[in-house]
Chain A
Amino acid sequence: MKTPALKNKQGLGSPAELKYPMIAIALAFIYIASGFIAPKDPSGFNLNGFSELPVLHGGRVKPLDTVARTSLLMLRGKQTLRIGERRQSASEWLLDALYFPQRSDSAPLFEIDDPDVLGSLGILQSSNRYYSFDAISPSLTAVEQQAQMADQVKPDQRSRFQRSIIKLQSRVMLYQKLQNTIQVMGEDHIVQNLRNLGLNARDKTGPDAAHMLEHYQFLAMAAEFRPLPDQHAGSNQNNWSSVGQGILNSIAAGKANEMALDYAVMGDAYRSGDSAAFNGALSDLQNKMKGLIPEELFRVKFEKGFNQVEPFYRAMALYLCVFLLTLFSWFSPKGTLRSAAFYLILFTFAVHTTGLASRMVIQGRPPVTNLYSSAIFVGWMAVLLAAILERLYKNGMGNVVGSVIGFSTLIIAHHLAVEGDTLEMMRAVLDSNFWLATHVVCITIGYSSTFLAGFLAIVYIIRRRFSAVWDSETADSLERMVYGIVCFSAFFSFLGTVLGGIWADQSWGRFWGWDPKENGALMIVLWNAFILHARMGGIADQKKTMLLAVFGNVITALSWFGVNMLGIGLHSYGFMDQAFVWLTAFSVSQIAIIALGAWPDHYDLQPKTLRKI
């Protein structure tokens, strides 16, 4: 007996059969398109315009929207802020943080879930994990002292409490820096002060001069980002200044800094609830920027749009739909649901690709630059390969495995994003587009194809054990898929590993140093070689090959994440505190699946046909 899906080998024919695919694509399209509609600003303040303002932060020019989102992620673990029943967008929150301390200090901003940290703050642990700055401010000195003590301990030897208190301290710092970026926190009548400064600029001996100088020097020092470009800012990122620096320069030049003034007017207007004045000053500021840095402005707007559409988040939801559709398709009499799932996975892949390409455009870098982007790319490559397999075999296997890996890797990426800006600048030794585009991409392709083979093998094991229909055609097609993907993986893993060695030879003077990351990559190569030799030598039959392929998942996960947890070696740029539990759980689950598959079943009793491929 054959599975229903297999009967429809020739794909689509009549318009009736195209009905489901068309509906699926149309719905998905509407879902994605809805992301392009900017949310309305009920307050009347031009929030969208504000969030598109370019600033220099973390070494690159980005929209305030990105600053808002990444800061909120770091403080709170989420991109929005819930106050009571109201949900505040990241940009809205940033406005408060920059201009309106009374309001932002009372918002439940800091996520603290470590009981010891709460205890040291004298706060009873409750179901609420979020605490306002007002709630923790009485203990700030204590937090700072504890953090300083913890800082003396080596990172890998810190206790959970020490790690948490350092994290809290750095988040408090971030928050306070933001509050002192555009203006000194709590300062009023700024516009008036600045105008006076413009008038009195030449009078550097006035009674307020020393005080003012100190004031703006503090502002220059505390700033989290630099919002003021000068006429050379388009070509050189050194030509962005903080508000404090800008004002100090203007005092020296005897001319008020117009853009700092615009920012100040916006602040006064925002605090007094005058949306017209706010929007007017914003529009003035935008016009000045347009004259100064038109190209940067375009890129920044693009990034703001990318943030707003959230292509990876939406792709994640769509992959889930593909998965469910394919599962249903195995129970439906016709193949139309399967092909609907296939078209939907193609569409989702296009969304995924657009997201990936947008990141490359914004950053001007090859696709993989850090752990976050490796997760995005692993999913992308696996879905691409899975879609090709689906096109070849048309039995839903590619859909299922592609959607599962696509969904999981995007979830992983989502959780990796809390570390801050995912488009961070590349540290010196990594600053090489050539090696990022070759070595890093090949290694990541190796990860994704090893996972793909492993997940196909899981489908083999589960269906063989639990499915009512298990025929040699499905079995053989899965085996061929796994074998082909393992070959593919062996090729790219080896290429990536050797290229990595050559890069190491170019930058550190040794091809191979048994560094943990190198060893991780080597283990994937060795394992793929092991599977290929076992299969080609006729030592592993079909089922054993599948079990070996599942173990590839464990090795790849260890190589991808485990190495970062070791926190040593030249490669350990991104130290991960947690995720260890997840890695262990995943490895245990894979070994359980191998055990499940290894347990003899009644197919084992049938005469064995050991085929050499």
Chain B
Amino acid sequence: MPDLITVAVVDPGAATSEGRDEENAASRASFLKRAVVGGGTLLTGGVLIGGLPSLALGAKSAAQDVRILNFALLLEYLEAAFYTEAEARGLLTGETRKFAKVVGAHERAHVAFLKKALGSAARSKPQFDFRDTTSVQSKFQSTAIALEETGVSAYSGQAARLRRQTLPAAASILAVEAEHASWIRDIVLRKPAPRAFDKALTKAQVTNRVNATGFIVG
């Protein structure tokens, strides 16, 4: 994964001591150095967060970032498993087949990134049952659109709840989810960008949508 987004996502100790101007002004070299340092603290950070007292509901905090990133991780597990299974079954054709392969690799990279960022605080992967949506081309396409649109709305709904230092990594994933949505929509001849302003969903709305799929079985 590119070095630009290897930010220390879970880094509660450094959160308050560094202003964003200082961070912006920092040289690229020191930014990367800090990212490496951050990477080394991730595991400890995850443990520390578990012991933090709960803060005011909705207030930005390291603990809230962990909850949001674990919510994102659930969606990424779902997407990665969906595309990986579709590719493995080998029944897709044409550009749809290529889409599944490329996007599957992206979603697996998102899972790996979030797991690393969360360290020991990362949730475990659920069991999925995608039924025939990974083997019937038309069902795969409509499911892919639904999953990608849900991903865009989900990350969008959480962006303003993340701390500044966590937001860029989430935004770098969000942009790619929007690209996926645009691509699969164009493949099935639906408008890739159907509106001038995308809509956000709350965590509860996203959870309802995910539950309604029945894909998570355990």
**A, B bound:** no
Interface residues in chain B, defined as those with a beta carbon under 8 Å from any beta carbon in chain A: none
Interface residues in chain A, defined as those with a beta carbon under 8 Å from any beta carbon in chain B: none
